[in-house]
Homo-oligomer: A and B are copies of this chain.
Amino acid sequence: MATQLWQKIQAAKKAEQAARIPSEWKLPETALPPHGTVDLRPYAASSGILSDRELHITEKYDATALAGEIAKGTFSAVEVVTAYCKRAAVAQQLCNCLTEIMFLDAMEAAKRLDVEYKKTGKVVGPLHGVPMTFKECFHVKGYDASDGYISRTFEPSTYDSYLIEVVRSLGAVVIAKTNTPQTMLVAEAENNVFGRTKNPVVSHLTSGGSSGGEGSVLSFKGSALGIGTDVGGSIRIPAAANGVYGYKPSFGILPMLKYAASNWVGMNTGIPAVCGPLARSMRDLTLLSRAVREVKPWTADPALIPNIFELEPVDRRPVVGVIYQSGLMLHPPIRRGIQEAAAKLKEAGFEVKEFTPPDFQEIRSVAAELFTIDGLSYPKRELEKAGEPVVESVMKIGHWFKNPKTHEQVWELNAKKGELQKQMLDCWQEAAIDIVLCPAGPHTAVPPNDWYSDTYTVSWNVMDYPAVIVPFTTADPDKDPKDWTFVPLSLENRKVQALYGPELMAGAPVALQFVGPRLGDRQLLKDAELLDKVLNN
């Protein structure tokens, strides 16, 4: 078969990516992991591309500590940014996590920061010299924002998204954008422009998504701080899958202004998308959020709520409500993770009680209908424009085949959503809890094309409650044998449970999800930081 036009564009885009990685940062054949290598992370060091000092810079500091060292003059912005660009280049060659590569611009920006620092003796802001990555769906002037649609390639953005402006004004250096799935509605990162992203921890399993490139590059330590977006779990699923921290704010906290939507602008289905950080520590999530809020972004983005994140959180030992299961049954490592975490918190003297929310499967089914009210007319149109095929991971989740709905049906769905929000609020009030501990999903990362459930994450989007992901343990065949007593409650449960293999998932990150009440973001970040310390020492 002759090469299709869209394949030529794909090839051109891949060539552009390759050209943006300096040849001295390219992995020699001999440094490539042998076929079947599970954990790709050690190849950052063994590649020989980073010096010992660069390995030290990228490995030993979270963004908060790194910014502190740069401020003290321990490292220059140029050496930090160089180290991270190199490591991101290796990540890209091993995991295919990047989309638009901006290393040259990043180095120039770092030089300017160093000049400024020398001149004034001060950092320009709290993120001075911190290398950052952004999910593909943000505009960076001069680079594409294709969101993985062939039809949108080679149309460079003519302006920066507002959040890009803000983090740059705070001193951050944007080194690359990261991969997402076609349609951005699935928990993977695969599209015809950039291909599929790998999970560096367990490379035969998916990176998750839709901010899959972010999860992957953060986990490889190829970025100090990343920004994803989340309408059903798109920050939290890849954070959990790759073993990093992630924060999905309530709507109105962090600015989406002028971002590059992957669907009809605004997508006002009743469940708003939000953006938020992925990071290497709980405190880094707070660092980014506080820094951005300190510029009073509500004076520029009309969608933001003023002064609410700024309320000083209280010192407390939060009462924890644990959702051991809702809607979908859990794979053994996840079940163990939640049980161990609850036990550890109890041991540490926290009040821990079981919390039963409205059924997550019911919440999820409302979300699935709301996400597809137009029958996905935008992605269908974009794919058709370029004649590119639907990728398997999109085909598989079923959204693709949903019919458009009438306005009346949409209103009914939103009324249903309102009822579920009310039920959740009543449950929460009655239980008298401060924070929820629940799984990030029914399973760890799974093989490519098999992540079809966002039940445990999308429920909090429907509620608009803030949630963070905290890595906790890893799947272990000895501790997590197959559950032979398993009796599926539904066909979907059978399907999900069939994915589990103790050896297949061995080493896969197991994460916890902490959730706060709507707009209680600042307190949630503080509470979760305390609980993270208890759980992860």
Which residues of A are interface residues toward B (Cβ below 8 A)?
257, 264-268, 270, 298-303, 305-308, 311, 373-374, 377-378, 404, 406-408, 410-412, 414-415, 418, 421-422, 424-426, 429, 463, 517-520
Choose among A373, A407, A418 the residue with the greatest number of B CB atoms under 10 Å from its CB: A407
Q: What 8 new A-B contacts, CB under 8 Å, besides A264-B412, A266-B270? A: A265-B415, A268-B270, A298-B518, A301-B422, A302-B424, A374-B407, A377-B407, A377-B408
* Least distance between A465 CB and chain B CB atoms (Å): 10
- A403 CB, nearest partner CB in chain B, Å: 12
Cβ B408 vs Cβ A264 within 8 A: yes
Copies in the complex: 2
Asked if residues A265 and B377 are in contact (CB atoms below 8 Å), the reply is no
Cβ 8 A contact of A411, one of B268, B411, B421, B520: B268
Cα A537 to Cα B410 in complex, Å, equals 50
Chain B nearest Cβ from A183, distance in angstroms? 16
Whether A418 pairs with B308 at a CB distance below 8 angstroms is: no
Q: Inside 8 A of A412's CB, which chain B residues have their CB?
A: 264-265
Nearest chain B CB to A82's CB is how many angstroms away? 37
Task: Say whether chain A's binding surface is mostly helix, strand, loop, or mixed.
Answer: loop
B415 touches A519 (CB 8 A): no
Q: Which of B311, B373, B517 contacts A407 (CB 8 A)?
A: B373
Interface pairs (26), CB distance under 8 Å: A264-B407, A264-B408, A264-B411, A265-B411, A265-B412, A265-B418, A266-B414, A266-B415, A268-B414, A301-B425, A302-B421, A302-B422, A302-B463, A303-B418, A305-B305, A306-B308, A306-B517, A306-B519, A306-B520, A307-B308, A307-B519, A308-B308, A373-B407, A377-B407, A377-B408, A378-B408
Complex Cα distance, B301 from A266, in Å, reads 25
